[in-house]
Each structure stands twice: as C-alpha cells, then as structure tokens.
C-alpha cells in the first residue's frame, strides 16, 4: 500500500474522531481544518519512498482538541494498521511459492489415495462378477456328484426311496434331562418338547363323562384336547416309526417282539435306549380316574412299549408312565408281580439330613449326582407297610399333591413302585433372597437328593423361580451341580439351546 493511502486512512480516522466530539465546538473544527491545511497532499510521484514514520502529535495540537487518551488510541490503531500492511506486502511474495508447492504435494497424494481406493474396489468387483459367472456355469454344467446331490431321493431316480431313513423323526435331536412342565400349554404339545430334546413331559388330566381331558383348569378344557389325542396316539406313532417292522424276515419266520424279546428303539434316534417319561397329574378323584387311565394305556401295553416291574426288577422300555397329584398309591401297588405305572414320591418326606456336609462347595458324598439304589425290602413287605385308604378319603385330598396317605413311612417308596421323587421348590426350600441360596437351603437340597438317591429314585423339583432370569439360571445351575436328575422347565429354548450358566441379567 502507498504512503498516500496510509495518509488518507489516517486523515479519515482523525476526521471521524474530531467530528464525534460535539462539545468541542468551533475550536475543534478549526483545529481539524488547520491540521488538514498544514499537510497538503503531494502528487504520488513526489512522495519519498522509505519506511513509514509513526504518526506523532505535538502538544500544540492538543489544545481544545479532545482528550489525550482518545488521540493516543487513534495513533496506536494507525500504527498497527501500517505495520500489518507493510509486513503482509513483504511476506506474500515469499509465502506464495511455498504454499503453491505444499498444496501441489497434498493434491498429488490425495489423488494417489483416491486412485488406489478406486482400483482396489474395481478389482474386488471384478472378482465378485467372475465368481458369480463361474457359479452360474457350474449350476448349468454340473458334474456327476452335483447331479446326485441335487436329485437325491427324487421320484424316477436311482436313489428313489433313499430320501430319508425310517427313524429320521428325531435324527438330529440329542436328549436332555429336562422335564416340560405343563407341556399342554405349548403351541405344539409333546412335539415341541421332543424337538428340544426333553425326555419328560407333564399332562394334567381330568375325568369328565368317562373321558380323560388335558388342561390346567376345568374351564379351559375342550372336546379335542384329550389324553389320547395329545399324547397317547402321537407317542404310538412316534415309537412305531422308530421301530419299523423287519422286512428281511420271511412271513413264517416273523413273530411280533414281546417285552422279553429284543429291545425297542426309544423316541430319540441318537440314543435309542433313552426312555421317555409321560407324567400324568391326576386332577380329579384318583380311584375314579385310575381304571380309565389303565384302559387307555392298553395300546402301549400290547406293543410292549411300557417300562414295567416283573416282580423281581425293572425292565425299561421306550415309554415310562408316572402318576402324581391325586393318584392312588394303594391301587398302583395292588399287583405285586407286575406294574407298568409308577408313582411320583414326595421328595420332602425322603430327606436325609443326618450328616450335613461341612464344606457346602465340595462334594462329600459319593452318591451325590448319581442314582444309587438301596436294597429294597420284598414286595410283600412293601404292600404290608402301605396304609389302606378309602375312596372318600382320597377324594377329600387337595389336588396337586401325592395321592397317598401314610404314617410318614418313607421306606415304602422304591424303584419297584416309584420313578420320581418330587416336591415344590418354593414350599420345601423357600424363597431365594439376595439372588443366592443360603447355606441352610443348600443343605436341605442335598438332604433331599441324598434321601431320594438312597432309594433309587430320580429327583425333580417343580415351582422353580422363573424371574429374574439370572436367579433362575443360578438355581438351575445349583440343582444340576448338586445332582438333581430332572430339571423342570417352562422355557424349553433357554434350557436346552443356550448356555444359561453364563446368563446373569434380569431378562437374558
């Protein structure tokens, strides 16, 4: 910027300063006019070049011209403006080439990165397109193996009839020791539990007009939801598919297999020796319901599918029938030489608390977690130890509890007449506070398990805590660790398809 430009800028500042002071009067105006007249402007070619001198004000000019502080501020403002203008004009010619070179390098690097990314994406896209083309050609021009795989088991092919095995119904299902509590509530009763791998299901049965209906409450019963429709017929069909007739035998050599002949395949193809438990909860009078149930089990009995007691021991078969609730224990044990229906013993009456473990976190007993049958008394003694009850007494009992009246004689329960030993977790163990079981509760659980295993019975608790999910999973983990044989669950997916030991939250 030229000197004349600086002078004009300075004069404009002075002019604005002196014009704003209305109180100075005519003396200020005369001062400004004299100041401008004393400094006549010279032509541009006559201005001497050289460093710009700072603007100074002598004392004679201060008379009647405003405050000294205002003039000083204006002088400082003019000085810094001149310095900034001169320094910029001197530095820009030097900075311009440097900035141009720097920007050029950055542009070249950015272009390189951009071209590199575009090239990589183009190569990946080309590979993807080529792969799709090759896949399409492979589908249109399959080899012999591809042809067999795509046409396996289809009609008209050599592999017709190879599409499935006779026992494919549960081919990929691995059995798990879980009990489907209130199984009839599921969208697909029985089959949902089998698909999840559960080896036990529960059905609440009501006797109404000589028919056995399945449901939780009387007002929820429907005409189609019967024990035969929901459980007996489907199990007959499922076990029949798992045991197809032997087509390699001639008609004269073929004879139906009897219970004492070759063993049958169970529900699960992965483990055909695993029995499947149908737990029937008597919701109405036991003596009246008993003969109806016995009659409806006849198809199982004729085919030899039922686990039975032959007078000396237990012969395990694909289906095991267990009764609970108002089931009459005296009618169940009336036959001393044969029975194919077993009882659900009261677990809380079998507790052995004589020797609690000093260290609850370490197993102190070899029978924990294993069924250890204790030598049982003869069947005749068991019958003699039973208390004979009348129908009236049985009908007066509340539903959902073991249908037997005894003198608290736990020795009457054995593998010859009972299969499970069950009780309500909430009533027998109590509520779980603080998300952890107390030592007293742990000792009681161990006493239950020990007492049941000494009699050869399988331990099962119902009414387990369901929420929070972390508490439920903790209780599941403790029960399995301590030796519970059958875990009663409502959520089949969590119990059989997930590692619930790692889930400790409220909802998952």
DSSP character string of 7-39: HHHHHHHHHHHHHH-GGGTHHHHHHHHHHHHHS
Cis peptide, bond prior to residue 394, ω within 30 of zero = no
Average pLDDT over every residue of 416-420: 98
Mean pLDDT on 445-466: 95
Query: Using only C-alpha atoms, what is the Rg of the chain?
Result: 48
Round to whole Å and give the CA distance between 88 and 120.
46
With CA atoms as reference, report the closest residue to 303 among 259, 238, 242.
259
> How would you classify residue 456: left for phi > 0, otherwise alpha for psi between -120 and 50, otherwise beta?
left
Q: Which residues of 313-342 are buried (b: 16+ CB within 10 A; e: fewer)?
A: ebeebbbbbbbbbbbbbbbbbeeeeebbbb
Euclidean distance between CA atoms 182 and 329, whole angstroms: 22
Q: Are 320 and 257 in contact (CB under 8 A)?
A: no
More confident residue, 181 or 69: 181
Give percent of the chain with pLDDT exceeding 90: 46
If you ran DSSP here, which 8-state letter would residue 324 be given? E
pTM above 0.85, yes or no: no
Q: Is the pLDDT of residue 183 over 90?
A: yes
Q: Which residue has the higher pLDDT, 324 or 385?
A: 324
Q: How confident is the model at residue 131 (pLDDT cuts 50, 70, 90)?
A: confident
Q: What is the per-residue pLDDT for 336?
A: 93
Crossing angle between the packed helical segments 68-140 and 3-20, to the nearest 10 degrees = 120
Quick: pLDDT tens for 297-327: 999 999 999 999 999 999 999 999 999 999 9
* Amino acid 359: pLDDT: 52
Task: List pLDDT tens digits, range 207-257.
Answer: 999 999 999 999 999 999 999 999 999 999 999 989 887 654 544 444 444
Q: What is the mean pLDDT of residues 132-151?
A: 65
| CATH T-level fold of 175-243+260-502 | TIM Barrel (3.20.20)
How far is residue 383's CA from residue 379's CA, in Å, rounded to a whole number?
A: 6
In this structure, are residues 495 and 503 in contact, taking their beta carbons and an 8 Å threshold? no
Q: What is the pLDDT of residues 396-412, one digit of tens each?
A: 343 344 544 444 577 89
The pLDDT tens digits for 63-84 are 444 556 666 666 666 655 665 5
Higher per-residue pLDDT: 469 or 258? 469
Over residues 343-377, the pLDDT tens digits come to: 999 999 999 988 776 554 554 444 444 444 443 43
- In the block, tokens 């502080």 appear at 69
Using the predicted structure, report yes or no on whether residue 200 has a pLDDT greater than 50: yes
Those residues with Cβ within 8 angstroms of residue 459's Cβ, 6 or more apart along the chain or in another chain: 347, 420, 421, 422, 448, 449, 452, 453, 483, 484, 485, 486
Q: Does residue 52 carry a pLDDT above 60?
A: no
Residue 355: partners with Cβ closer than 8 Å, 6 or more residues away: none
The Cα 490–Cα 183 span in angstroms is 8
Domain edges within the chain: 3-90, 175-243+260-502
């Amino acid at each position: 910027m030229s000197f004349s430009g600086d002078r004009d800028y300075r004069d404009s500042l002075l002019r604005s300063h002196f014009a704003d002071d209305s109180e100075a009067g005519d003396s200020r105006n005369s001062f400004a006019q004299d100041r401008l007249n004393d400094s006549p402007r010279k032509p541009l070619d006559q201005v001497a070049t050289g460093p710009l001198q700072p603007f100074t004000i002598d004392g004679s000019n201060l008379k009647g011209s405003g405050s000294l502080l205002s003039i000083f501020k204006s002088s400082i403002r003019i000085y810094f403006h001149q310095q900034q203008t001169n320094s910029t004009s001197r530095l820009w010619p030097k900075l311009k080439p440097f900035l141009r070179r720097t920007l050029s390098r950055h542009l070249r690097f950015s272009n390189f990165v951009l071209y590199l990314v575009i090239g990589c994406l183009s190569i990946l896209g080309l590979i993807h397109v080529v792969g799709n083309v090759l896949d399409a050609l492979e589908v249109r021009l399959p080899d012999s193996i591809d042809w067999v795989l795509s046409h396996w088991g289809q009609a008209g092919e050599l592999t017709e009839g190879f599409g499935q095995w006779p026992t494919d119904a549960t081919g990929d299902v691995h059995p798990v020791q879980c009990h489907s509590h209130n199984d009839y509530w599921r969208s697909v009763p029985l089959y949902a539990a089998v698909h999840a791998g559960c080896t036990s299901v529960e059905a609440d049965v009501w006797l109404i007009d000589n028919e056995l209906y399945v449901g939780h409450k009387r007002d929820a019963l429907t005409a189609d939801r019967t024990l035969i429709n929901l459980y007996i017929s489907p199990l007959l069909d499922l076990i029949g598919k798992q045991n197809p007739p032997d087509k390699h035998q001639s008609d004269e050599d073929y004879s139906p297999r009897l219970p004492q002949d070759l063993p049958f395949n169970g529900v699960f193809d992965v483990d055909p020796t695993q029995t499947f438990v149908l737990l029937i909860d008597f919701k109405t009078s036991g003596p009246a319901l008993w003969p109806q149930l016995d009659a409806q089990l006849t198809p199982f009995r004729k085919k030899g599918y039922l686990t039975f007691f032959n007078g000396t021991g237990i012969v395990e078969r694909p289906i095991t029938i267990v009764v609970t609730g108002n089931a009459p224990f005296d009618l169940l044990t009336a036959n001393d030489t044969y029975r194919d229906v077993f009882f659900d013993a009261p677990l809380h009456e079998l507790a052995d608390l004589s020797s609690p473990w000093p260290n609850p976190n370490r197993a102190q007993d070899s029978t924990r977690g294993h069924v250890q049958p204790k030598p049982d008394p003869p069947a005749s003694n068991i019958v003699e130890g039973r208390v004979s009850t009348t129908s009236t007494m049985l009908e007066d009992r509340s539903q959902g509890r073991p249908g037997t009246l005894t003198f608290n004689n736990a020795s009457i329960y054995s593998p010859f007449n009972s299969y499970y030993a069950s009780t309500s977790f909430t009533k027998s163990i109590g509520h779980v506070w603080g998300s952890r079981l107390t030592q007293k509760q742990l000792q009681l659980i161990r006493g239950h398990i020990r007492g049941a295993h000494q009699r050869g019975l399988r331990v099962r608790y119902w009414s387990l805590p369901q929420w929070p999910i972390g508490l439920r999973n903790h209780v599941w983990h403790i029960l399995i660790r301590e030796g519970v044989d059958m875990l009663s669950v409502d959520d089949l997916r969590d119990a059989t398809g997930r590692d619930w030991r790692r889930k400790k939250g409220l909802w998952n």
